[in-house]
Amino acid sequence: MRISTAQYYATTAANYSRNFNNVMKSAEQASSNLKITTAADDPVGAARLLQLDQQKAMLGQYTTNINALNTAQAQEESVLDSINNTLQKVSELAVRAGGGSLNDDDRKSISAELKQSEEQVLSLMNSKDANGKYIFSGASNNTQPLCATATAPIATRVIRLSLS
């Protein structure tokens, strides 16, 4: 097989052009610090980059959710500690009220403290988070979990049922 001079020059020119394009592409990658600028550069690598971006977004969302849950848990623990302290005070008042050496004024004072403690526990159970949602209301966090009415002076759970 014979190779003509024109064919030799055409092949050499194509090789030089291809090598020049490769050098330019390498220079562009080096200057931009990006190996893949378009999906045509490396289709498999581009697909992998898309997967990694999606995983990064998911991990970011998980981190945000964890932080929100930690904040909510800290707030709930704080409220529960306050309720526990109030109930401890009520227990102490009950023991003190059981003593036989109290007069009527002492009993009225204890009664007033118990009423105040009841209102405090009711208020704590109806605490809201930073978004204005009730923290002890479960899934229906727009509904006040406990309420006291004239007919039911002791805090009662409001239950709303819907039949669908």
Cβ–Cβ under 8 Å, residues 36 and 44? no
Residue 155 backbone dihedrals phi, psi, to 5 degrees: -55, 130
- Work out whether strand 146-147 and strand 156-157 pair parallel, antiparallel, or are unpaired: antiparallel
In terms of Cα–Cα distance, which of 11, 17, 129 is closest to 70?
A: 129
The more confidently predicted of residues 157 and 14 is 14
Domain residue ranges in the chain? 1-34
Exposed, middle or buried by CB within 10 Å (0-12, 13-18, 19+), for 120?
middle
Q: Residue 149's pLDDT is what? A: 64
Q: What is the pLDDT of residues 7-38, one digit of tens each?
A: 888 999 999 999 998 888 888 877 877 777 77
Q: What is the pLDDT of residues 94-133, one digit of tens each?
A: 998 888 788 889 889 999 999 999 889 989 999 999 889 9
Give the range among 75-84, 137-146, 150-159 with minimum mean pLDDT.
150-159
Q: What is the pLDDT of residues 48-98, one digit of tens each?
A: 988 999 999 999 999 999 999 999 999 999 999 999 999 999 999 999 888
Label residue 161 by pLDDT band (50, 70, 90): very low
H helix intervals, the chain: 5-32, 43-97, 104-125
Distance (Å, whole) CA 90 – CA 94: 6
